[in-house]
């Protein structure tokens, strides 16, 4: 008998029939003798509609109250699953984040888990209950409800699995596992049997939303056996592996894209010490994360500075950029929301050269213009026009030999 944590995402609990299917799967595992803890997301689309409702009340809704509102999505599904299990005569109990002692810092809408008490979960498990926990939410030390950022219920699941020292954590979603690229964009994407935490972290950080990045960080830090599987079939899924990688790792194992960033360019910035510090300090003080930065030197002691920020922060960052530009005597500030970042990731890149050249050539052959470039040890990212993102993913997938072989 083992302790299993299972998380079901939005599409897996999108309607009463799917919640009943989740109840069947969970009860089957329970009948096999396992201790079961189930973490749920809100029904697909519910978090978006709650955000929409909030924006009808205020242009920038108070973030504390927004979290109180958003947490209701997961409260609904947790209650619905627990009552379904009870109606099937299984002992079940739903818990909200605070009841499961999911303690976070106080960054509303993007809180980080700092501790999980889980005494109540353990007591319920000892009494042989199926414990259903509302994902995505926690409580800060001041007793306020917080949420973990979009996609955060994966992190609730892995963190709870870590706190309980669960034998495994299974993330059930609407695809069969982790693929070489988003299978909804690239029909030739291949399902991976396993992926290293390191590669998954890199893919999640550049937009593969199949796992919330902090869930992979938890799995890595606490050695949680983590699997991604489909809630619509019994296939094995993908294991996210922690540990040594063999030297034969593919040079490129995945292609990812992300449309969540926007670009800001400051034209004719004086080329002097302290100018970049001035610009990026004011952006950082506003709590805005800058991702890529490039600086082009022009003749005449001036530079053009381009950087990317999350789309959600674009307007604020543009306003701040304009204020700073005036102060430092830059000519003008331009913004572009219609960009996408396309990335190739792979541990094998550490010991191979020529990946960047191959990436750029493949994109050139499809007439895809590269606007910005950034690299890490195991990733290369390019900013391209938003409308070219999907074409770029498919092109690179083929260029790096990742397409599945039809048999
Ligand atoms: P859930 O609601 O279950 O949490 P998400 O929508 O957050 O589901 O994540 C699953 C989605 O992630 C898939 O439907 C797929 O479109 C997308 N995705 C992006 N990159 C990948 C990838 N490399 N492998 C699998 N899915 C991916
Ligand atoms: N319901 C939340 C969201 O839509 C959390 C999650 O699904 O993981 O972002
Ligand atoms: Mg998700």
pLDDT digits (tens, 9 = 90+) for 295-319: 988 888 899 999 999 998 899 999 9
| C-beta separation of 152 from 146 below 8 A | no
User: Which whole number is the average pLDDT over 323-336?
Assistant: 93
CB 152 less than 6 A from any atom of ligand 2: yes
Provide the pLDDT confidence category of residue 245 given band limits of 50, 70 and 90: low
- pLDDT, residue 336, reads 97
What share of the chain in percent tops pLDDT 90?
Answer: 86
Angle at which helices 275-285 and 314-328 cross, to 10°: 150
pLDDT value at 101 more than 70: yes
Two structure tokens written together for 383: 């900013």
Closest residue by Cα to atom 8, ligand 2, is 151
Max Cα separation, the chain? 78
Q: How far is CA 261 from CA 51, 207, 218, 276, in A?
A: 19, 10, 25, 20
| Sign of the alpha-carbon dihedral angle for 361, 366, 367, 372 | negative
More confident residue, 122 or 353: 122
CA of 72 to the centre of ligand 2 (A): 11
CA of 271 to the centre of ligand 3 (A): 43
- pLDDT, residue 356, reads 94
The rounded distance, in Å, linking the Cα atoms of 48 and 54 is 10
Size of the chain, expressed as the number of residues it contains: 407
CA of 401 to the centre of ligand 2 (A): 33
Q: Which atom of ligand 2 is found nearest the CA of 151?
A: 8
- pLDDT, residue 246, reads 57
pLDDT tens digit sequence for 171-185: 999 999 999 999 999
Burial of residue 127 (number of CB atoms within 10 Å: 0-12, 13-18, 19+): exposed
Annotate 208-243 with b (16+ C-beta within 10 A) or e (fewer): bbbbbbbbbbbbbeeebebbbbbbeeeeebbbbbbe
CA of 174 to the centre of ligand 3 (A): 9
- pLDDT, residue 275, reads 87
Pocket test for ligand 2, best of 9, 11, 41, 204 (most atoms within 8 A of CB): 41
The rounded distance, in Å, linking the Cα atoms of 269 and 350 is 35
Annotate 55-90 with b (16+ C-beta within 10 A) or e (fewer): eeeeeebebbebbbbbbbbbbbbbebbbebbeeeeb
User: Which whole number is the average pLDDT over 100-126?
Assistant: 96
CB 147 less than 6 A from any atom of ligand 2: no
Question: Fold match between 3-174 and 244-407?
Answer: no
Query: What integer best gives the mean pLDDT of the chain?
Result: 95
Closest residue by Cα to atom 22, ligand 1, is 182
User: Which whole number is the average pLDDT over 204-218?
Assistant: 95
Q: Domain map of the chain by residue range?
A: 3-174, 244-407
The rounded distance, in Å, linking the Cα atoms of 8 and 135 is 9
CATH class, domain 3-174, is alpha beta
pLDDT value at 391 more than 90: yes
pLDDT value at 248 more than 80: no
Q: Which atom of ligand 2 is found nearest the CA of 148?
A: 5
Q: How many other CB atoms sit within 10 Å of the CB of residue 248?
A: 6
CATH superfamily of 244-407: VC0802-like (3.30.2130.10)
Provide the pLDDT confidence category of residue 405 given band limits of 50, 70 and 90: confident
Beta bridge partners of 3: 35
User: Which whole number is the average pLDDT over 260-288?
Assistant: 91
Q: What lines the ligand 1 site, CB under 6 Å?
A: 9-12, 41, 151, 173-175, 178-179, 181-184, 208-210, 254
Closest residue by Cα to atom 5, ligand 2, is 151
pLDDT value at 247 more than 60: no
The rounded distance, in Å, linking the Cα atoms of 44 and 21 is 16
Kindly report the pTM of this predicted structure: 0.93
- What does the DSSP 8-state code read for residue 319? H
The rounded distance, in Å, linking the Cα atoms of 133 and 74 is 9
CA of 218 to the centre of ligand 1 (A): 19
Provide the pLDDT confidence category of residue 80 given band limits of 50, 70 and 90: very high
User: Which whole number is the average pLDDT over 339-366?
Assistant: 94
CA of 208 to the centre of ligand 1 (A): 7
């Amino acid at each position: 008998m083992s302790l299993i944590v299972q998380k079901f995402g939005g599409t897996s609990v999108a309607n009463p029939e799917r919640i009943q299917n989740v109840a069947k799967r969970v009860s089957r595992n329970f009948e096999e003798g396992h201790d079961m803890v189930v973490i749920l997301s809100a029904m697909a689309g519910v978090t978006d509609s709650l955000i929409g409702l909030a924006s009808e009340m205020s242009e920038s809704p108070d973030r504390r109250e927004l979290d109180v509102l958003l947490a209701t999505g997961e409260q609904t599904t947790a209650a619905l699953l627990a009552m379904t299990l009870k109606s099937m005569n299984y002992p079940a109990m739903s818990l909200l984040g605070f009841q499961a002692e999911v303690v976070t810092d106080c960054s509303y809408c993007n809180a980080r888990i700092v501790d999980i008490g889980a005494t109540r979960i353990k007591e319920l498990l000892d009494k042989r209950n199926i414990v259903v926990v509302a994902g995505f939410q926690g409580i800060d030390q001041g007793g306020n409800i917080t949420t973990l950022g979009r996609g955060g219920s994966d992190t609730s699941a892995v963190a709870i699995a870590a706190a309980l020292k669960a034998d495994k954590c299974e993330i059930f979603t609407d695809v069969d596992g982790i693929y070489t690229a988003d299978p909804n964009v690239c029909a030739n994407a291949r399902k991976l049997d396993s992926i290293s935490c390191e590669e998954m972290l890199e893919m999640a950080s550049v937009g593969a939303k199949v796992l919330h990045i902090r869930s992979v960080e938890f799995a890595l830090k606490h050695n949680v056996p983590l699997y991604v599987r489909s809630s619509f079939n019994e296939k094995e899924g993908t294991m996210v592996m922690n540990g040594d990688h063999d030297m034969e790792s593919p040079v490129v194992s995945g292609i990812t894209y992300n449309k969540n960033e926007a670009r800001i360019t400051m034209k004719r910035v004086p080329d002097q010490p302290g100018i970049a510090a001035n610009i990026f300090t004011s952006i950082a003080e506003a709590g805005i994360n800058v991702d890529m930065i490039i600086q082009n030197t022009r003749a005449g002691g001036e530079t053009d500075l381009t950087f990317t920020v999350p789309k959600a922060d674009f307007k604020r960052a543009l306003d701040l950029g304009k204020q700073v530009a005036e102060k430092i005597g830059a000519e003008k500030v331009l913004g572009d929301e219609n960009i996408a970042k396309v990335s190739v990731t792979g541990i094998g890149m550490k010991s191979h050269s020529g990946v960047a050249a191959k990436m750029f050539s493949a994109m050139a052959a499809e007439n895809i213009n590269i606007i910005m470039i950034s690299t890490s040890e195991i990733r290369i990212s390019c900013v391209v026009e938003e409308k070219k993102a999907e074409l770029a993913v498919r092109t690179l997938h083929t260029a790096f030999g990742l397409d599945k072989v039809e048999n």
